[in-house]
């Protein structure tokens, strides 16, 4: 079982930073922004003739975001 977290003023800089980053990245504003980016990307498909570069843009962006969500599974071997 995990031990309780120490009070906020006793946590390390990294612990405070990680907690604030996690709260921000899970916010409604970030979600709405991500959906907007995907919609803009999808709408521009015909403009760029669905090129490999056009696909690479979204593939790179999603690859940069997904590992944060999959870290636990990778650490435990359940990928």
Mean pLDDT confidence for 44-71: 81
What residue segments make up the domains of the chain, in order of their start? Answer: 12-76
Q: What is the pLDDT of residue 51?
A: 95
Structure confidence by residue, pLDDT tens digits, 7-57: 656 779 999 999 998 898 889 998 898 899 999 999 999 999 999 999 999
Q: What is the pLDDT of residue 11?
A: 79
Q: What is the pLDDT of residue 73?
A: 47
Mean pLDDT confidence for 4-8: 63
Is the distance from CB of 62 to CB of 70 less than 8 angstroms? no
**Which residues lie below 8 Å from residue 61, measured CB to CB, with a gap of 6+?**
37
């Amino acid at each position: 079982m995990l031990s309780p977290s120490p009070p906020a003023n006793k946590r390390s800089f990294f612990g405070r930073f990680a907690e604030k980053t996690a709260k921000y990245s899970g916010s409604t504003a970030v979600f709405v922004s991500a959906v907007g980016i995907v919609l803009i990307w999808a709408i521009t498909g015909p403009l760029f003739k669905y090129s490999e570069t056009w696909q690479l843009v979204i593939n790179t962006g999603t690859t940069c975001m997904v590992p944060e969500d999959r870290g636990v599974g990778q650490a435990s071997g359940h990928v």
